[in-house]
Amino acid sequence: MLPTMKMLLSLIALFSAALLANTAPPTCYSRVLSLSKEITESFKELQTSKSVDSCVEMLPRLYLDIHNYCVLAKLRDFVAYPRCERVLEVNELKEKARSLYTIMIFYCRRDLVFLTDDCSALENPIQPSIIES
């Protein structure tokens, strides 16, 4: 093999090792946090979408704070909500909520710390603009 080819392969191997060293698998907490944000954003988009069925307006409010113990009941209630079965976006959202609940209950139960159990905070979240005023 040519010396330049050996050096090129060595550089590729070195950069590959550096990339692998910098990437860490997500922790339970980071996975729960990202999935809860994704669900909250998807719900907001669903609420503002014009092309979705009118039953979406009747869905329970879905604001998720994974530091609030009441989020578990909130997820259960949302998944069990009997309406909107024929709306694909709602079914997808319910599936994500079911996944988050499963992750929190079975896989991450020892890693999560609930800072509050204020259920009303999930119904009427404080907006950042109100806090800053």
pLDDT top residue among 127 and 81: 81
Total structural domains in the chain?
Answer: 1
Residue 86 lies in a domain: yes
Largest Cα–Cα distance of the chain, in whole Å?
70
Q: Which two tokens stand for residue 53?
A: 């069925």
Task: Tell me if 37 is assigned to some domain.
Answer: yes
Placement of tokens 């994500």 in the chain: 96
CB 39 within 8 A of CB 62: yes
52 in any annotated domain: yes
**40 lies in which domain range?**
24-119
- 3-state secondary structure at position 68: strand
- Residue 32 pLDDT grade (very low, low, confident, very high; cuts 50, 70, 90): very high
111 within domain boundaries: yes
Mean pLDDT of the chain: 79
